[in-house]
């Protein structure tokens, strides 16, 4: 069997603690299932800045490019609030997304039944919630040029960011959304602001054309992004797959994540295009939550989002579908049993730390 190469970037804050629990699962899979994972590890974010003066080193970028999949923890923290813009912790993540061409960000917003009560929404609105947000990740205002601050004199500065989308970028992300919808409820809702933004006009046109050309079996709906935010709060279960641009995706996926009451549990996958020869996609997996510097190093962080991100890795990078299902099932079982980290604590549940949570999931796996 060929080796399965994983590159681990735990990052800052609670990233390393959460990643530690994934390492246990990898070791178990190598031992018990002969999975053949080979891991290497690097630095990203503030920890990379401290070591190399950059948010990720060239050497680690090369390793990320060469790996079958990257597992990413989290970056940032108050310690690096004042480092120069170009080397701020987030720059490492943004460079990985861009240089690996990870244009398709998959963010499932599911509500674990055991956690429905933790949502700020009424339980009946979120019980059984299962949305997949497909966010474009390498274009839009995140990377468009010019992106500058200019001194105009007279004490005035001018800041410019540029939202740019080309037809092919919208085509490929909508294709991913339609493909995913076919494996689910076969419905896609595309969100933009075509009433204000030219990129919204083009987005709407290209999604519509892609649908007509190749995916007319999928039900397609269009919604203005602001109305979409409202509808997510009003009746989230109306959605199956949502496809949207980089910035709207950032906002909408965070709102959707919070709806589930399961924020500390939500994973994400960022995928590239299939390689023309091998069919393999470059990929990076990361929890939706951030680095939570306030609780870092205390052994109390919830590792579930990181573990669920590894489950997505098993599914999308290695086609280990059964193993992915089992790992996701293990997480749900542990929650059903009332084992909880502090962030999802409930009356009558058993409160555990990061490693106990990891152990409990491993025991169910």
Query: What is the contact surface with a copy of itself in residues (CB under 8 A)?
Result: 76, 85, 88, 90, 94, 120-122, 125, 141-142, 144, 147-149, 152, 155-168, 193, 195-199, 201-203, 225-227, 229-230, 232-235, 247-248, 250-251, 254-255, 257-259, 263, 290
From the list ligand IPM, a copy of itself, none, which binds 356 (C-beta under 5 to 8 Å, kind-based)? none
Q: Does 78 bind ligand IPM (CB under 6 A)?
A: no
Nearer to a copy of itself, 225 or 313 (CB): 225
Q: How far apart are CA 170 and CA 139, in angstroms?
A: 9
Three-state SS for 284-311 is EEEECCCCCHHHCCCCCCCCHHHHHHHH
Minimum gap (Å) between residue 117 Cβ and a copy of itself:
10
From the list ligand IPM, a copy of itself, none, which binds 148 (C-beta under 5 to 8 Å, kind-based)? a copy of itself
Q: How far apart are CA 228 and CA 313, in angstroms?
A: 29
Q: Write phi, then psi, for 280 (nearest 5 degrees).
A: -80, 145
From the list a copy of itself, ligand IPM, none, which binds 66 (C-beta under 5 to 8 Å, kind-based)? none
Q: What is the CA radius of gyration of the chain?
A: 20
Instruction: Residue 284: count other Cβ atoms within 10 Å of its Cβ.
Output: 27
- The string over 63-95, giving b where at least 16 C-beta atoms fall within 10 Å of a residue's C-beta and e elsewhere, is bbeebbbbbbbbbbbeebeebeeebbbebbbbb
User: Which range in 30-38, 87-95, 257-265, 307-315 contacts ligand IPM by CB under 6 A?
Assistant: 87-95
Nearer to ligand IPM, 99 or 364 (CB): 99
Contacting ligand IPM within 210-229 (CB under 6 A): 226
Catalytic positions are 142, 193, 226, 250, 254
Minimum gap (Å) between residue 263 Cβ and a copy of itself:
7
- 103: which residues sit within 8 A by CB, 6+ positions away? 136, 137, 138, 139, 169, 172, 173, 271, 272, 273
Minimum gap (Å) between residue 316 Cβ and ligand IPM:
17
Minimum gap (Å) between residue 208 Cβ and a copy of itself:
12
Nearer to a copy of itself, 1 or 159 (CB): 159
The pairing of beta strand 69-74 with beta strand 104-110 = unpaired
Nearer to ligand IPM, 160 or 196 (CB): 196
Q: How many CA atoms lie within 13 A of 7 on its CB side?
A: 19
Q: How far apart are CA 128 and CA 350, in angstroms?
A: 24
Q: Does 93 bind ligand IPM (CB under 6 A)?
A: yes
Contacting ligand IPM within 233-292 (CB under 6 A): 250
x/- mask, ligand IPM, residues 176-195, rule CB under 6 A, reads: -------------------x
- Cα–Cα distances in angstroms (integers) from residue 260 to residues 20, 237, 239, 286, in the given order: 25, 11, 13, 18
Q: Look up residue 359 and give its two tokens.
A: 């152990």
Q: How far apart are CA 190 and CA 225, in angstroms?
A: 9
Q: Does 99 bind ligand IPM (CB under 6 A)?
A: no
Single out the residue of 27, 83, 87, 90 in contact with ligand IPM (rule: CB under 6 A).
90
Q: Does 230 bind ligand IPM (CB under 6 A)?
A: no
H-assigned helices in 37-114 = 46-52, 58-66, 89-99
Output the known binding site for Mg(2+): 226, 250, 254
Output the known binding site for NAD(+): 77-90, 290-302
Yes or no: say if 143 and 136 are a contact pair by the CB < 8 Å rule. Answer: no
Q: Does 161 bind ligand IPM (CB under 6 A)?
A: no
- 339: which residues sit within 8 A by CB, 6+ positions away? 349, 350, 352, 356, 357, 360
Residue nearest to ligand IPM (CB): 90
Nearer to ligand IPM, 101 or 127 (CB): 101
User: Hey, which residues does 269 pair with through a beta bridge?
Assistant: 106, 285
Nearer to ligand IPM, 113 or 290 (CB): 290
Binding site for ligand IPM (CB under 6 A): 90, 93-94, 195-196, 226, 250
């Amino acid at each position: 069997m060929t080796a399965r190469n994983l590159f681990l970037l735990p990052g800052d804050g609670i990233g390393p603690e959460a990643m530690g629990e994934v390492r246990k699962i990898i070791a178990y899979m190598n031992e018990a299932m002969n999975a053949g994972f080979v891991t290497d590890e690097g630095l990203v974010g503030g920890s990379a800045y401290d070591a190399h003066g950059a948010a990720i080193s060239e050497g680690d970028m090369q390793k990320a490019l060469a790996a079958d999949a990257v597992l990413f923890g989290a970056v940032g923290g108050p310690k690096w609030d004042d480092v120069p813009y170009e080397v701020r912790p987030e720059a490492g993540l943004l460079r990985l997304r861009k240089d690996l061409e990870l244009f398709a960000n998959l963010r499932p917003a599911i509500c674990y039944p055991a956690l429905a009560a933790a949502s700020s929404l009424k339980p009946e609105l979120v019980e059984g919630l299962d949305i997949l947000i497909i966010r474009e990740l390498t274009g839009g205002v995140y990377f468009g040029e010019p992106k500058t601050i200019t001194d105009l004199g007279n004490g005035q500065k001018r800041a410019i960011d540029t939202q740019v989308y080309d037809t092919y970028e919208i085509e490929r992300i909508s294709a991913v959304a339609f493909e995913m919808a076919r494996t689910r409820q076969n419905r896609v809702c595309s969100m933009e602001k075509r009433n204000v933004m030219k990129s919204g006009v083009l987005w709407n046109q290209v999604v519509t054309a892609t649908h007509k050309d190749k995916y007319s079996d999928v039900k397609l709906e269009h919604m203005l992004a602001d109305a979409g935010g409202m509808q997510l709060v009003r009746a989230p279960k109306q959605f199956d797959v949502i496809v949207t641009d980089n910035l709207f995706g950032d906002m909408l996926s965070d709102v959707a994540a919070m709806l589930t009451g399961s924020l500390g549990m939500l994973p994400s996958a960022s995928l590239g295009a299939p390689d023309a020869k091998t069919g393999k996609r470059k990929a990076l997996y990361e929890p939706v939550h951030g680095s939570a510097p306030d609780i870092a190093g205390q052994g109390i962080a919830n590792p579930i989002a990181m573990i669920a991100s590894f489950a997505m890795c098993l599914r999308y990078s290695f086609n280990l579908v059964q193993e992915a299902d089992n790992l996701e099932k293990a997480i749900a079982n542990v929650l059903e049993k009332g084992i909880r980290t502090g962030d999802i604590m409930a009356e009558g549940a058993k409160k555990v730390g990061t490693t106990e949570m990891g152990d409990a999931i491993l025991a169910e796996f």
